[in-house]
Structure 1
């Protein structure tokens, strides 16, 4: 499968899901994981929000590296590694629209001051363990 079709398949899979586990790392090396809601843009950027008082917000301010796991149901998952940054003020409308377009209930978080982040992918792996051998599709950026 070529990269275009891999990316399309990954995008379709990610868009079927609204929840992910996000992993970040504190400056002292301690890991932290949390469940988040997210949306995904056509370029496979993951868009999510975080309140300033959360551990993930502080972790991302120190270390922008992030990992996600999506879709643990039915023995199919996507692992996603990338770099997460706050969305710049000039781009906030575009990203909020994408985020709220698939997660209208997140408007409450935005209204309460949650900050929008975007994660740019470095590596993604789709794993379907319902087959023997498992179907593994991996892409690097």
Structure 2
């Protein structure tokens, strides 16, 4: 499968989901994980929000490296590694609109001051363990 079709397949898979496990790293090196609602843009950026009083917010402020796992049901998953940064003020409206179209229940969090982040991918692996042998597709960015 060529790169375009692989990215399209991963995008379609991610768009079927709105919940991910996110992993960040504390300044002392301790890994920390949590679940987050997310949406995905056409360029495979993952968009999510968090409050300023969370561990992930503090971790991302110091170490932007992030990892996600999406889709643990049905033996198909996407692992995603990248860099997460706050959505720039100039872009916040378009990111919020797209995010809330995917995850409308998060409007309350945005209204209460949750901060929008975007993650840019460095590496993605799509794994389908229903196939024998398992189908494993990796993309480097």
Pick the TM interval, shorter chain: over 0.9
Corresponding position of 1:41: 41
Corresponding position of 1:25: 25
What does 1:81-92 correspond to in 2, within 5 Å?
A: 81-92=81-92
In structure 1, how many angstroms separate the alpha carbons of the residues matched to 2:49 and 2:18? 13
What does 1:84-123 correspond to in 2, within 5 Å?
A: 84-123=84-123
Corresponding position of 1:56: 56
TM-score (norm 2): 0.99
In structure 2, how many angstroms separate the alpha carbons of the residues matched to 1:8 and 1:128? 16
Write out the 4+ residue segments of structure 1 that deviate beyond 3 Å after TM superposition: none
Unaligned runs of 5+ in 1: none
Aligned-residue CA RMSD (Å) = 0.4
Unaligned runs of 5+ in 2: none
Deviation at 1:98? Answer: 1.1
- C-alpha distance after superposition, 1:29-88 (max 9, x if no partner): 001000000000000000000000000000000100000000000111000000000000
- C-alpha distance after superposition, 1:74-120 (max 9, x if no partner): 11100000000000000001110110011111100000000000000
In structure 1, how many angstroms separate the alpha carbons of the residues matched to 2:26 and 2:43? 28
Q: What count of residue pairs does the alignment treat as equivalent?
A: 141
In structure 2, how many angstroms separate the alpha carbons of the residues matched to 1:69 and 1:60? 17
